[in-house]
Amino acid sequence: MRLMELFSSTLSAEILYFLVLFMEEISKNDKIGEKAEVVEYEAKKHYSKTLASAIAASIVVSGIMGAIAGFAVSETSNKEIRKIIEQQRGIEATDDADAGKAIKNNRSVSIIEDESATINVVEKASPAVVSVIVTKDVPKLDSYFIDPFANDPFFNPFGFREIPREEPETEKREIGGGTGFIVGEDGFIMTNRHVVEDEEAEYTVIMNDGTKYNAVVLARDSFMDLAVIKIESDKKFPVIKLGNSGNLKIGQTVVVIGNSLGEFRNTVSKGIISGLKRSISAGDGRGRSELFDEMIQTDAAINPGNSGGPIINLQGEAIGVSVAMAQGAENIGFAIPINEVKKIYQSVKETGRIVRPYIGVRYMLVNKQIQKENNLQFDYGALVVRGRRLSDLAVIPGSPADKAGLVENDIILEIDEKKVTSDNDLSRIIKRKMVGDNIVMKVWSQGREKMITAKLEEAGQEY
């Protein structure tokens, strides 16, 4: 019996000794390490003693286990506190080192995702972006040579000098270029009017893979710098989806693709939308200029040759058409909103021509100065007035305005419950409408307000 007790005591102490060594390895806490040393000493001291020593050691083990449990609880609490703080910071990490790694990793992921989005857009859109090459028969340079001494017997005694041709020879030569993008599988392409304005020129479309197709001009827009051309082929072509320019936000990322400088096909630049609803005056370098409203401003590079190319959002949708860049400035380019482009494309596709609504009045926008000078009742609205010539009538006979009963000196105050102002003038409102739309106008006429309804009709070539 004594032997059994001694064996049990010895076994318990030995187990306790190895337990302490194990606990030292898994615990990094200084206080637990100190307790472990005390236990180790006690264990060695009572290694060969009675069962009472083992019982005492067991009590110490209980203390160690309690300390370990307390440490575990404390460590768990600390981790929970850190987790709450880190969650408030938007970082899920267990310590400072992990938190730093998480921030770095999040930034890396964001950069990679942004780059991937841009690459995907370019890969998706590029096959539908084309270069538009303009060629024309032009006189040969050498046929312009005139020899002033060809008929002079002193300088040309034997008649060897060539007498210049009366009509110079011509040759087909590339005289310009721009960009376009395919909007219909059957080869419909949108571009700028100024890219294809020469009615005597021939137009060739070069795809991103270098394939060339002849193209014909279907329509040139007399109001906006837009044109519709079509590839002469029965093949199905890749297209760019048309987005919505009505919900654009300043700061939104955009990608521009175009035939930069007429030489570098499908050049890609990236930027943001810098402004919306800009009004600009754009010149073509030959003394002509046009006024454009509702333009999209971007800091993405738009260079000569980009004209007619798409501005694309990160969903791969065209939201505008590149049209102009600011001279003497950097990173200020402009694009025609795609919602205007949609109307032109649908009109040409369905009718073969550009159909626009018109109301048929000449007008002057009313402001405070005009109100004061003419003693008017309102400082806003469209005052129906004559033009400078006698033939420039205030209301066009037979027009929707004439049929609705508008007369000279009426003031159109509202259209469809929206005030007519400098920021929302009459032409802009009508331009957003479709042929056949009914508009309700609030009009100040002969000292009283009245409501008039007019049905918009298709504008003739003179409008």
The set of residues, in sequence order, having a beta carbon less than 8 Å from that of 365 and lying 6+ positions away, is 381, 382, 383, 420, 421, 422, 425, 426
* CB-CB contact of 177 with 134 (8 Å): yes
Instruction: Render pLDDT for 366-412 as a digit per residue (tens, 0 to 9).
Output: 999 999 999 999 999 999 998 878 878 999 999 999 999 999 999 99
Closest C-alpha among 209, 266, 269 to residue 237 = 209
CATH 2.40.10.10 segments of the chain: 125-231
Q: Which of 141-150, 173-182, 311-320 has the lowest mean pLDDT?
A: 141-150
pLDDT score, position 96: 57
Q: How many CB atoms lie within 10 A of CB 174?
A: 13
Closest C-alpha among 31, 37, 95, 39 to residue 68 = 31
Mean pLDDT of the chain: 77
* CB-CB contact of 68 with 23 (8 Å): yes
Closest C-alpha among 171, 168, 107, 161 to residue 137 = 171
Instruction: Please identify which of the residues 131, 307, 322, 347 carries the catalytic annotation.
Output: 307
* CB-CB contact of 131 with 118 (8 Å): no
CATH 2.30.42.10 segments of the chain: 357-458
Per the annotation, the verdict on 46 as an active-site residue is no
Tokens standing for 152? 């002079």
Q: Which 3 state secondary structure label does DSSP give 254?
A: strand
DSSP secondary structure of 18-68: HHHHHHHHH---HHHHHHHHHHHHHHHHTTTS-HHHHHHHHHHHHHHHHHH
Query: Buried b / exposed e across 420-431, counting CB within 10 Å, b at 16+?
Result: beeeebbeebbb
Name which residue leads in pLDDT, 338 or 171. Answer: 338
Name which residue leads in pLDDT, 68 or 230. Answer: 230
Query: In the CATH hierarchy, which fold is given to the domain comprising 125-231?
Result: Thrombin, subunit H (2.40.10)
* CB-CB contact of 179 with 259 (8 Å): yes
Q: Which of 37-41, 154-158, 165-169 has the lowest mean pLDDT?
A: 37-41
Tokens standing for 269? 């630049």
Q: What is the CATH number of domain 357-458?
A: 2.30.42.10
Instruction: Please identify which of the residues 194, 269, 399, 410 carries the catalytic annotation.
Output: 194
Instruction: Please identify which of the residues 225, 245, 322, 347 carries the catalytic annotation.
Output: 225
pLDDT score, position 138: 73
pLDDT score, position 391: 78
Instruction: Render pLDDT for 372-383 as a digit per residue (tens, 0 to 9).
Output: 999 999 999 999
> Residue 109 belongs to what H/E stretch?
helix 96-125
